[in-house]
C-alpha cells in the first residue's frame, strides 16, 4: 500500500533545465501508489524526452490539445485529477496561469480543474526576482495555489542564487500534505455533526434607501461553512450575503440583513447545533427609528440615534450547553491579542479567532486571512497569511479537537 494509492495526479512539466528532476518526482509519486498523468509542454520536450515519462508514469505523455485520443484532453485530465503538480514551472507558465491564458494543454488543464494545484517554480535568479514574476506568484498564492520553492543553489550555466527547483523529496512531501489536507480529501470527520455558521456584515436600515453597514464580505464565514459541509457536517449558514454563499447538498443558507434578524435565525438553530461559529460582523448599534420614507436632503444635517443590538455571541456563551463548541471572531485594529483574550472570557466562548483587520490582505473583503487563535484551555495558535479556505480548515481542526477533549472530560467526570 502506498500513501498515494488511488490518487490521480497530473504532472505538468515545463521547459527549464530542472525538467530532468521531474523524472524523479514522477517515479516517487508512482512508487507511492499515485496514478500519474504526465503533460509536457513544447519547451519541456527540448530538455527531456517523452520516452522517459512514457516508461515511468502511469499513462503515456500528452503534449497537445489536438493530437490526443480523447477529444477534450484538458477537461478529461482536469476533472479527474485529485491534484495538479507543475514541476518545474517557468516564468511563462506562471504568467499564463495567473492571467487565465489557455496557451497549451497544460495551461488549459489548469483552467479546467477544481483540484488543488502545486507549482514549483525554477528559473534564473534575475527572472525569479523580476517584479512581474513576484506579482504573479503573490497572486497565485492568494488564489490558494501552493508554491513550493524555489531554493538557493547552483543554477544552469554555473550561476548560483535563488531559483533552483526544490528537491524532489520536498516536492513529494508537499503533494502528500495537500492531498491529506481537508481541502480535497475524503475526510469526513464532521459526519453526524450539526454546524451553525454566521457570515457577512449586518445592514441596519436608516430608511428604505440607506443603511449602516460594515466592510465584511462573508468570505471567511462561507469558507468555514463549505469546509464543514465537505467534511460531512450538516451546516446552516446564516448570512447577509446569500448570493455569494457556496452551495453544497448539506449546506442550508438562511438569508438575513439586520443584527436582529441574524439573532433570531441563530437563536432558533443554536440549541441543536454541535458547533456554533460566529464569523459575522454584527453591528453593535442600530438606528432607534427607521424612516419608512426616503430621508430627504436638508441644510440642517442629520442626527441618527442609535441603540445597542443584542450581542448574539455573548448571549449564546452565557447559556450554551456544556457539550457545544462556541467559536467567536475578534476583528481588531489594535492590541489584537489583549482584546481577543478579553473577548474569549467576556463572551464565554471556547475559541476566539482574532484578526488584525488593518493589516494588508487580512480580514474584510480579502481572499486571504491571517489570525491568532486563543482557546479556553489557554492554547495560542498562529495562522500565517493563507487563503480563507485554509484558514477555515485550521479553525475547524482546532474546534473539533476542543470538542473531542470536552466530551472526553465530561465522560470522565460522569
Ligand atoms: N458579535 C455578536 N453580536 C454582536 C456583536 C458581535 O454575536 N452584536 C460577535 C461577532 O460575530 C464576533 C464577536 O462577537 O464573533 C466579536 O465581534 P467584534 O465585532 O470583534 O467585537 P464586539 O463584540 O462587537 O466588540 P468591539 O466592537 O467593541 O470590538
What confidence tens digit (pLDDT) does each residue in 163-212 have? Answer: 999 999 989 988 987 887 654 445 789 999 999 999 999 999 999 999 99
State pLDDT tens for residues 224-260: 999 999 888 999 999 999 998 887 878 999 999 999 9
Residue 17 has pLDDT above 50, yes or no: yes
pLDDT for residue 68: 66
410 — pLDDT class (breaks 50, 70, 90): confident
- pLDDT surpasses 80 at 285: yes
225 located within any domain: yes
Please indicate, yes or no, whether residues 221 and 166 belong to a single structural domain of this protein: no
Ligand 1 binding pocket includes 286 (Cβ within 6 Å): no
Task: Give yes or no: residues 368 and 272 share one domain.
Answer: yes
Q: How far is the CA of 330 from the centre of ligand 1 (A)?
A: 7
Same domain, 177 and 202: no
Looking at the annotation, which residues are catalytic? 214
Q: What is the pLDDT of residues 93-150, one digit of tens each?
A: 999 999 999 999 999 999 999 899 999 999 999 999 999 999 999 888 878 888 888 8
- In the sheet that holds 8-13, the strands lie side by side as 35-40, 8-13, 83-89, 117-121, 146-147
Evaluate whether residue 202 is within a structural domain: yes
| Residue-level pLDDT at 381 | 93
Q: Which atom of ligand 1 lies closest to the CA of 316? A: 7
pTM, two decimals, is 0.64
Residue 2 lies in a domain: no
Is the CA virtual torsion 153, 97, 30, 64 positive or negative? negative
Considering the chain, what percentage of its residues have pLDDT values greater than 70?
A: 97
* 263 close to 312: Cβ distance less than 8 angstroms: yes
Residue 349 burial by Cβ neighbours in a 10 Å radius (0-12, 13-18, 19+):
buried
Q: Which three cell numbers stand for residue 401?
A: 479537537
309 CB near ligand 1 (under 6 Å): yes
Question: What confidence category does residue 2 fall into, taking pLDDT thresholds of 50, 70 and 90?
Answer: confident
Do 390 and 251 fall into the same domain? yes
Q: From the alpha carbon of 312, which atom of ligand 1 is closest? A: 7
The residue contributing the CA closest to ligand 1 atom 28 is 284
Given a cut of 70, whether residue 1 has pLDDT beyond it is: no
Task: Tell whether 163 is covered by a domain.
Answer: yes
Q: What is the pLDDT of residues 53-105, one digit of tens each?
A: 999 999 999 998 877 677 677 788 998 899 999 999 999 999 999 999 999 99
Q: Tell me the best of 279, 330, 340, 354 to mutate to test the pocket of ligand 1, counting ligand atoms within 8 Å of each CB and taking the most.
A: 330
Return the closest-CA partner of residue 379 out of 407, 398, 363, 393.
Answer: 398
Q: Is the CB of 312 under 6 A from ligand 1?
A: yes
Atom 9 of ligand 1: nearest residue by CA position: 313
Are residues 151 and 81 located together in one domain of the fold?
yes
Claim to verify: residue 326 and residue 367 sit in the same structural domain: yes
Task: Inform me whether the pLDDT recorded for 392 exceeds 90.
Answer: yes
Q: Is 282 in the pocket of ligand 1 (CB under 6 A)?
A: yes
pLDDT of residue 184: 46
Give me the domain span that covers residue 137.
Answer: 8-181
Instruction: Looking at the structure, tell me whether residues 40 and 130 fall in a common domain.
Output: yes
284 lines ligand 1 (CB under 6 A): yes
395 in contact with ligand 1, CB cutoff 6 A: no
> Which CATH number characterizes residue 93's domain?
3.40.50.1950
State whether the beta carbon of 259 lies less than 6 angstroms from ligand 1: yes
Whether residues 102 and 198 fall in one domain: no
Q: Is the CB of 163 under 6 A from ligand 1?
A: no
pLDDT of amino acid 372: 95
pLDDT of residue 414: 62
Please tell me the predicted confidence (pLDDT) of residue 250. Answer: 86
Shared domain for 73 and 162, answered yes or no, is yes
Total tally of structural domains belonging to the chain:
2
- Give the atom of ligand 1 at the shortest distance from the alpha carbon of 331: 20
How far, in Å, from the CA of 328 to the mean position of ligand 1? 8
Question: Whole-angstrom distance between the N-terminal and C-terminal Cα of the chain?
Answer: 42
281 CA distance to ligand 1 centroid (A)? 7
Q: Which of 380, 382, 375, 381 is nearest to 403 (CA)?
A: 375
DSSP conformational letter for 5: T
From 329, 335, 371, 374, give the residue whose CB has the most ligand 1 atoms within 8 Å, as the site to mutate: 329
Decide which of 374 and 250 is more confident.
374
For residue 15, is it within any domain? yes
Average pLDDT over the chain, rounded to an integer: 91
Closest by CA position to 193, among listed 153, 159, 235: 235
Domain boundary residue, one of 153, 181, 209:
181
Q: Whose CA is nearest to atom 21 of ligand 1?
A: 330
In a domain, 309, yes or no: yes
Relative to the CA of 329, which ligand 1 atom is closest?
15
On the question of a cis peptide bond just before residue 29, with omega within 30 degrees of 0, the verdict is no
Do 222 and 81 share a structural domain? no
Report the nearest atom of ligand 1 relative to the CA of 314.
7
Amino acid at each position: 500500500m502506498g500513501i498515494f494509492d488511488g490518487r490521480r495526479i497530473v504532472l505538468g512539466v515545463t521547459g527549464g533545465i530542472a525538467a530532468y528532476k521531474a523524472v524523479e518526482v514522477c517515479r516517487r509519486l508512482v512508487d507511492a501508489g499515485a496514478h500519474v498523468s504526465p503533460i509536457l509542454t513544447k519547451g519541456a520536450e527540448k530538455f527531456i524526452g517523452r520516452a522517459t515519462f512514457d516508461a515511468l508514469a502511469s499513462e503515456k505523455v500528452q503534449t497537445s490539445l489536438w493530437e490526443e485520443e480523447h477529444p477534450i484532453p484538458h477537461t478529461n485530465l482536469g476533472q479527474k485529477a485529485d491534484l495538479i503538480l507543475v514541476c518545474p514551472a517557468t516564468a511563462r507558465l506562471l504568467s499564463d496561469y495567473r492571467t487565465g491564458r489557455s496557451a497549451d494543454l497544460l495551461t488549459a488543464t489548469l483552467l479546467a480543474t477544481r483540484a488543488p494545484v502545486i507549482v514549483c517554480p525554477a528559473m534564473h535568479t534575475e527572472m525569479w526576482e523580476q517584479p512581474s514574476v513576484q506579482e504573479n506568484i503573490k497572486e497565485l498564492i492568494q488564489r490558494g495555489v501552493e508554491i513550493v520553492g524555489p531554493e538557493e543553489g547552483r543554477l544552469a550555466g554555473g550561476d548560483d542564487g535563488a531559483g533552483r527547483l526544490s528537491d524532489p523529496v520536498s516536492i513529494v512531501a508537499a503533494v502528500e500534505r495537500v492531498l491529506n489536507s481537508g481541502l480535497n480529501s475524503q475526510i469526513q470527520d464532521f459526519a453526524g455533526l450539526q454546524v451553525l455558521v454566521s457570515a457577512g456584515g449586518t445592514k441596519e436600515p436608516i430608511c428604505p434607501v440607506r443603511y449602516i453597514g460594515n466592510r465584511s464580505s462573508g468570505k471567511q464565514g462561507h469558507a468555514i461553512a463549505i469546509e464543514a459541509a465537505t467534511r460531512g457536517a450538516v451546516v446552516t449558514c446564516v448570512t447577509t450575503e446569500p448570493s455569494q454563499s457556496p452551495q453544497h447538498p448539506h449546506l442550508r443558507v438562511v438569508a438575513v440583513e439586520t443584527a436582529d434578524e441574524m439573532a433570531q435565525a441563530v437563536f432558533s438553530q443554536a440549541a441543536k447545533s454541535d458547533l456554533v461559529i460566529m464569523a459575522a460582523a454584527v453591528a453593535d448599534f442600530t438606528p432607534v427609528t427607521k424612516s419608512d420614507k426616503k430621508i430627504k436632503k436638508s441644510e440642517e444635517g442629520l442626527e441618527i440615534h442609535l441603540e445597542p443590538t443584542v450581542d448574539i455571541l455573548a448571549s449564546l456563551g452565557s447559556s450554551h450547553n456544556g457539550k457545544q463548541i462556541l467559536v467567536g471572531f475578534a476583528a481588531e485594529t489594535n492590541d489584537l491579542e489583549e482584546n481577543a483574550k478579553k473577548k474569549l472570557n467576556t463572551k464565554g466562548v471556547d475559541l476566539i479567532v482574532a484578526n488584525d483587520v488593518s493589516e494588508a490582505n487580512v480580514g474584510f473583503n480579502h481572499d486571504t486571512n491571517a489570525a491568532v487563535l486563543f482557546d479556553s484551555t489557554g492554547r495560542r495558535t498562529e495562522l500565517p497569511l493563507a487563503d480563507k479556505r485554509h484558514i477555515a480548515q485550521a479553525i475547524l481542526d482546532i474546534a473539533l479537537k476542543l470538542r473531542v477533549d470536552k466530551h472526553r472530560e465530561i465522560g470522565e467526570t460522569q
